[in-house]
Structure formats: structure tokens, C-alpha cells
């Protein structure tokens, strides 16, 4: 009887240990996911130019300003370009960067202008395209103007905004756009970088209205220098938070 009781107790202890071990493994998975998300580093460069770093990957979004601007960063693993205008597609900067091991991702209109760039590979993505690439996923979101007087700036179908998914985090870069339905219908966005500059994209009221529609967890105004100077991003924050205080509006200095 004592032997049976001992075996029973030993079995119970073994099962309990295994359960605790599995719990620890599960907790570690969750913890690792959080660490991976925390390791996604986004650095504002200027205007529409951003560097994203994660898992030894470096993404340059709309690189401008010459190679020296990126001297503190490793060479890009990927370059994402949204549109053909000089504040997004800067040929001189692309020529100056070491892109021999770099994949460029861009819409067709951009790809046609960079055929001579010495990159490892050019991937064409157009509105609505989705791809899984190494450690992240990318979706090409439409970007275009709605106002009649601004249609010449960004016609529908030419340029891309992007949603980049790294781990469980979804990050949206609007590119040059107004508050289009495709942006308003975005789901589960953790970080959103939204343009707001007239006459080229939209005013702060339209940008705020769009943000309130798709409710990102965090919103970063960017690309907010227009023909009459900088947009009032402080007022933008007030508009958003007066109607939804749960959206974290974060203001970075894109124009030092």
C-alpha cells in the first residue's frame, strides 16, 4: 500500500513539474514575442524618411538626404519607396548608398525610374499586393488625392502606402494621401504614420478624422511640411484626443 501511495505521489509530482515546465515555456513564448516587438526600432530621419530596425534587418523608407544621412545605420536590407516625387524617390541618395545586398520594394511607376540602380533586386508591388518577406509581411495600400484641385499631385494607383507587420505589430505608413476609404478601413494598426500637408495631401482636420475612423493605438504625424510651412501637429493631437483619448498621439521632430 505504501509503495502504491509512493508511486502515486511521485507520478503526481512529475505531472505537476511537467505542467509548470509547459507554463514556463508558454510564458517564455509570450515574453519573447513582447521582446521582439520591443526590439522594432523606428528612427525618424526627416519629412517622409524613416529607418526601421529589427532582427538584424534594416528598412529604409523613402531614403533622401544623401548617404551621409544614414552613416550611423547599417546598409539597408530593404528599401521601400512610396512614390515618384523627390521627397520619396531620391535617385542621388539611392546611387550613393551601398545597395548591392539590398532589395528595393516599390510601385511600378517608381521601378521604371530606378532600373539603373545597382540593387540586388527590385520587387514591384502595386495597390492591394501582399507579400511575406523573411521576417515581416508587407501590404501595399493605395495613396491618392480626393480634392479636385489636388488630383494632379497623386493620382490613384501610382503610389503605395505600406502596412508592415513585424511579429504581432502592424505599422502603417500613409505615403502621400488624403483621408481615403482604404485608410479609414484599416484594421488592427498598432502604429500609424500619417501625412498632413497642404496643398499636396490633406489638412490636419481631415487627417484627424481619418485616424478617428480606423483607431490606431499610436499615431505619429509625419510628412507635415507644406508650401506654407509646417502643419499644426499640436492642434491635430488636440482634435484626436478630444474625441478619443485612448489614441496615443506621439509628436516627433521631423524638421530639426
Helix (H, G, I), strand (E, B) or coil at 53: strand
User: pLDDT exceeding 90 applies to what percent of the chain?
Assistant: 83
Residue 116 vs residues 60, 86, 104, 218: alpha-carbon distances, Å: 19, 17, 12, 38
Q: Is residue 85 part of a domain?
A: yes
Q: Is residue 4 part of a domain?
A: no
Helix (H) or strand (E) holding 66: none
Q: Is omega for the bond preceding 53 within 30 degrees of 0, making it cis?
A: no
Helix (H) or strand (E) holding 228: none
Q: Is residue 148 part of a domain?
A: yes
CATH number at residue 44: 3.60.15.10
| Full domain range(s) for residue 241 | 37-249
Whether 226 shows a pLDDT value over 90: the answer reads yes
Q: Which of 194, 192, 190 is nearest to 223 (CA)?
A: 194
Whether 208 shows a pLDDT value over 90: the answer reads yes
Q: What integer best gives the mean pLDDT of the chain?
A: 89
Q: Is residue 27 part of a domain?
A: no
CA distance 240 to 208: 6
Number of domains in the chain: 1
With bands split at pLDDT 50, 70 and 90, how would you rate the model's confidence at 193?
Answer: very high
pLDDT in tens, 125-180: 999 999 999 889 999 999 999 999 999 999 999 999 999 999 999 999 999 999 99
Q: What is the pLDDT of residue 11?
A: 47
User: pLDDT exceeding 70 applies to what percent of the chain?
Assistant: 85
Q: Is residue 17 part of a domain?
A: no
Q: What is the pTM of this model?
A: 0.84
pLDDT in tens, 1-53: 544 444 444 444 444 444 444 444 333 333 333 333 458 999 999 999 999 99
Q: Is residue 254 part of a domain?
A: no
Q: Residues with Cβ < 8 Å from 132, sequence gap 6 or more? A: none
Q: Is residue 13 part of a domain?
A: no
Q: Is residue 11 part of a domain?
A: no
Contact 94, 84 (CB under 8 A): no
Amino acid at each position: 500500500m505504501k509503495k502504491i501511495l509512493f508511486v502515486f505521489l511521485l507520478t503526481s509530482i512529475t505531472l505537476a513539474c511537467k505542467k509548470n515546465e509547459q507554463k514556463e515555456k508558454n510564458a517564455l513564448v509570450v515574453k519573447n514575442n513582447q521582446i521582439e516587438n520591443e526590439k522594432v526600432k523606428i528612427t525618424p530621419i526627416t519629412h517622409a524618411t524613416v529607418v526601421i530596425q529589427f532582427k538584424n534587418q534594416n528598412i529604409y523608407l523613402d531614403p533622401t538626404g544623401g548617404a551621409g544621412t544614414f552613416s550611423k545605420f547599417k546598409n539597408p536590407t530593404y528599401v521601400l519607396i512610396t512614390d515618384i516625387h523627390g521627397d520619396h524617390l531620391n535617385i542621388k541618395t539611392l546611387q550613393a548608398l551601398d545597395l548591392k545586398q539590398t532589395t528595393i520594394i516599390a510601385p511600378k511607376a517608381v521601378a521604371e525610374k530606378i532600373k539603373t540602380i545597382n540593387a540586388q533586386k527590385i520587387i514591384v508591388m502595386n495597390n492591394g499586393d501582399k507579400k511575406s518577406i523573411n521576417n515581416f509581411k508587407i501590404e501595399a495600400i493605395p495613396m491618392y488625392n480626393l480634392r479636385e484641385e489636388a488630383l494632379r499631385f497623386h493620382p490613384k494607383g501610382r503610389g503605395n502606402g505600406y502596412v508592415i507587420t513585424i511579429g504581432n505589430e502592424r505599422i502603417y505608413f500613409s505615403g502621400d494621401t488624403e483621408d481615403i476609404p482604404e485608410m479609414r478601413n484599416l484594421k488592427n494598426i498598432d502604429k500609424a504614420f500619417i501625412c498632413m500637408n497642404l496643398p499636396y495631401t490633406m489638412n490636419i482636420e481631415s487627417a484627424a478624422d481619418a485616424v478617428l475612423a480606423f483607431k490606431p493605438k499610436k499615431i505619429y504625424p509625419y510628412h507635415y511640411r507644406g508650401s506654407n510651412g509646417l502643419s499644426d501637429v499640436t492642434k491635430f493631437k488636440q482634435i484626436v484626443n478630444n474625441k478619443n483619448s485612448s489614441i496615443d498621439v506621439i509628436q516627433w521632430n521631423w524638421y530639426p
